[in-house]
Amino acid sequence: MSTTFFPDQISQARPRRVWRAKTVFGRALQVLAICAAVVPFAVAAGPAPGSELKVGGQMIDIGGRSLRLVCAGPTGSSKPVVLFESGAFGFAGDWAYVQKQLASQGVRSCAYDRAGMGFSDASDEPRDGVNVAQDLEKLVAKANIPAPYVLVGHSMAGARVHLFANRNPEKVAGLVLVDSTTPDAMNDAHVAKYVADFTDGAHAAALTAQFGILHLLAGTSLGDKVGLPPVEDAQKRHQFASAEYNKTSYDEVKNWPLAAKQAAATGPLNTDWPVAVVSAGVLSADEGAQIQALQPPPALASRHGFISVVDGATHNGLLGAKYSPGIVQGIDFVLKAAGAKAAGTEERAETVRVGLPVAKG
**Inside any domain, residue 13:** yes
Length of the chain: 361
Of 173, 121, 142, 169, the residue nearest 62 (C-alpha): 142
Q: Could you tell me the pLDDT band of residue 284, with boundaries at 50, 70 and 90?
A: confident
14-28, 97-111, 285-299: least confidently modelled range: 14-28
Of 194, 172, 233, 207, the residue nearest 48 (C-alpha): 233
DSSP string across 45-103: H-PPP-TT----SEEEESSSSEEEEEEES-SS-SSPEEEEE--TT--GGGGHHHHHHHH
**Inside any domain, residue 45:** yes
**Inside any domain, residue 79:** yes
Q: Are 201 and 25 in contact (CB under 8 A)?
A: yes
CATH assignment at residue 203: 3.40.50.1820
Distances (CA, A) of 128 to 120, 124, 157, 159: 17, 12, 11, 11
Question: Does the pLDDT at position 356 exceed 50?
Answer: no
Give the residue-averaged pLDDT of 25-39: 46
Percentage, residues of the chain above pLDDT 70: 81
Higher pLDDT, 20 or 332: 332
Expressed in angstroms, the distance from the first to the final Cα of the chain is: 13
Question: Does the pLDDT at position 38 exceed 50?
Answer: no
Q: What is the pTM (predicted TM-score) of this model?
A: 0.86
Q: Residue 102, Cβ neighbours under 10 Å: how many?
A: 24
How many CA atoms lie less than 13 Å away from 191 in the CB half-sphere?
20
In the chain, the largest separation of any two C-alpha atoms, in whole Å, equals 66
Name residues whose C-beta falls within 8 Å of residue 110's C-beta, 6 or more positions apart in sequence.
69, 70, 71, 72, 81, 82, 83, 84, 143, 145
- Extended beta strands in 210-347, E state: 275-280, 305-310
Look up the domain containing 190 and give its range: 2-343
Each residue of 120-140: pLDDT tens digit? 999 999 999 999 999 999 999
Q: Could you tell me the pLDDT band of residue 4, with boundaries at 50, 70 and 90?
A: low
Cis peptide before 296 (omega within 30 of 0): no
Q: Are 111 and 142 in contact (CB under 8 A)?
A: no
Give the residue-averaged pLDDT of 41-60: 63
The three-state secondary structure class of 266 is coil
DSSP string across 21-46: --SSS--HHHHHHHHHHHHHHHHHH-
Of 14, 53, 81, 41, the residue nearest 245 (C-alpha): 53
Q: Are 112 and 139 in contact (CB under 8 A)?
A: yes
Name residues whose C-beta falls within 8 Å of residue 206's C-beta, 6 or more positions apart in sequence.
243, 246, 247, 249, 250
Given this model, what pLDDT does residue 325 score?
A: 95
**Inside any domain, residue 218:** yes
**Inside any domain, residue 353:** no
Distances (CA, A) of 281 to 77, 258, 319, 323: 33, 28, 13, 10
Distances (CA, A) of 260 to 113, 280, 313: 20, 21, 25
Question: Does the pLDDT at position 28 exceed 90?
Answer: no
Q: Are 355 and 10 in contact (CB under 8 A)?
A: yes
Each residue of 182-193: pLDDT tens digit? 999 999 999 999
The count of domains in the chain is: 1
**Inside any domain, residue 86:** yes
Going by the DSSP 8-state scheme, the letter that residue 136 receives in this structure is: H
Q: Are 256 and 265 in contact (CB under 8 A)?
A: no
Given this model, what pLDDT does residue 285 score?
A: 83
Each residue of 72-95: pLDDT tens digit? 999 988 899 999 999 999 999 999
**Inside any domain, residue 129:** yes
**Inside any domain, residue 316:** yes
Each residue of 144-154: pLDDT tens digit? 999 999 999 99
Give the residue-averaged pLDDT of 146-170: 98
